[in-house]
Amino acid sequence: MTPWLSVVGVGDDGVSGLTPAARALVDAAEIVVGAERLLEGLVPEGRELHAWSSPLAQTIARIEGWRGRAVAVLASGDPMHFGVGCTLLRHFPIEEMRVVPAPSAFSLAAARLGWPLQEAECLSLHARPAALITPLIAPGARILALTEGAKTVREVATILRRRGFGPSRLTVLEHMGGAAERAVALKAEEVSGQPFAEFNLLAVECVAGPNAVLFPQAPGLPDESFRHDGQITKREVRAVTLAALAPLPGTLLWDVGAGCGSVAIEWMLAARGAAAIAFERDEKRIDFIAENALCLGVPHLEVVPGKAPESLAGQPPPAAIFLGGAVSDEAVFEACWEALNEGGRLVANAVTLEGEAALIARQTRFGGDLVRIDIAHLAPVGKKRALKPRMSVLRWRVVRG
């Protein structure tokens, strides 16, 4: 099909800064869609101008109705880098589209700061929680973040201060490429009360203070990183469990009997785009899961309350399942097993005799491997010290198919 939908990247200087080829697509369009600030430099001249509606889906539905007519969508910077082009491609095939990018805000920021772009972490906090920056915070890390405006800058600064990264250097790059371009440099601990333009990109050079909290990139966060009531897969066992679950980019985990959500959270931290659903029936623990997910930088973790297996019905099929609660319940296991597609992985941990008996019986039927995990930790014995064993854990891992 001949392309009818043009997605044109625009800088802060507006349509006046478009290349001749990009401007020709806009001028030839019967209908132009974009943010109000991007439409300001256009004269209707017999064509229709439409600002994006809220929610965005309303305008996308209207664009579908214009299929076959010449439609141009104006986007900020590179439409395919956290831009509206990615959204439109979920509704229209690329064969029906032309995408003409302008330099992205990330490229402009790297040029202004002298940062090699491939060495910086890039993310969007526009219409997203500022907590998403949390997993990227590490000594020496460089982060470029699209923002929702001045409030995002203040929220990120607060997160950095709470983690002990108050000395981190922030650069707020306002209106890059436009007449009002300005860069404001300060430390995270200096942000309070500072004014910033609403249209900005935030650059962060992470500097750890003397009391900084450091989170490892490998699975196995300290138990004290989570708020819990004792129902938590302990750090060493959790690291082994995550290795068995094998998180992969873009895959979904079911954490059944999630407790405080530690396994689901670390699954999401382990691979780009990994998602998880935490199934938990205890209301207090559900609150723990939500709080831990926000504090550790995965606020989009989905929590499904209720008792399994009823709560599992109708959920999207997972790539992997962790069975941490109700291990000996056959109805829960059968529901989990049926939910797995071929190649899906199931990992279950048991500490009780009933749970162990159930796992041994299932391994006989379905295969997989059984591993005994014995951990001992340092503990005082009078005035001396000893290694005190924790409860043994029997781990079963099986791949369906």
Residue 291 has pLDDT above 90, yes or no: yes
Confidence category of residue 40, pLDDT binned at 50, 70, 90? confident
Stretch among 15-19, 63-67, 140-144, 332-336 having the lowest mean pLDDT? 15-19
Q: Would residue 215 count as lying in a domain?
A: no
What is 199-266 written as a DSSP string? SEEEEEE----TT-----SSS---GGGS--SS-S--HHHHHHHHHHH---TT-EEEEET-TTSHHHHH
Report pLDDT digits (tens) over 194-228: 899 999 999 999 999 999 999 888 899 999 999 99
Q: What is the CA radius of gyration of the chain?
A: 26
The per-residue pLDDT for range 145-169, each reduced to its tens digit, is 999 999 999 999 999 999 999 999 9
Do 145 and 84 fall into the same domain? no
* Averaged pLDDT, 83-100: 96
Res 44 pLDDT > 90: no
Both 323 and 392 in one domain: the answer is yes
pLDDT of the residue at 233: 94
Count of structural domains within the chain: 3
Assess if residue 169 is contained within a domain.
yes
Question: Does residue 329 lie in a domain region?
Answer: yes
Task: Encode pLDDT of 108-133 as tens digits.
Answer: 999 999 999 999 999 999 999 999 99
With respect to residue 217, please indicate whether it lies within any of the assigned structural domains.
Answer: no
Which residue range is the domain that position 160 belongs to?
A: 106-205
358 and 268 part of one domain: yes
Domain boundary at 175, 205, 235, which? 205
CATH number assigned to the domain comprising residue 56: 3.40.1010.10
The answer to the question of residue 214 being in a domain is no
* CATH number, residue 306: 3.40.50.150
Say what the pTM is.
0.90
Give the length of the chain: 401
Beta bridge partners, 97, equal 5
Closest CA to 273 of 244, 248, 290, 294: 248
> Could you read off the pLDDT of 68-78 as tens digits, one per residue?
999 999 999 99
Q: What are the respective helix, strand and coil percentages of the chain, to the nearest 5?
A: 35, 25, 40
Q: How far is CA 306 from the centre of its chain?
A: 25
Residue with tokens 């590490």: 138
Percent of the chain with pLDDT over 90: 92
Q: Are 329 and 386 in contact (CB under 8 A)?
A: no
How far apart CA 28 and CA 30 sit, in angstroms, is: 7
From 102, 117, 150, the end of a domain falls on 102
Judgement on whether residues 254 and 366 belong to the same structural domain of the protein: yes
Whether 126 and 186 map to the same domain: the answer is yes
111 and 98 share one domain: no
Residues 23 and 94 in one domain: yes
Q: Among residues 47, 81, 102, which one ends one of the domains? A: 102
Claim to verify: residue 68 and residue 140 sit in the same structural domain: no
Mean pLDDT calculated for residue range 324-334: 93
User: Same domain for 298 and 394?
Assistant: yes
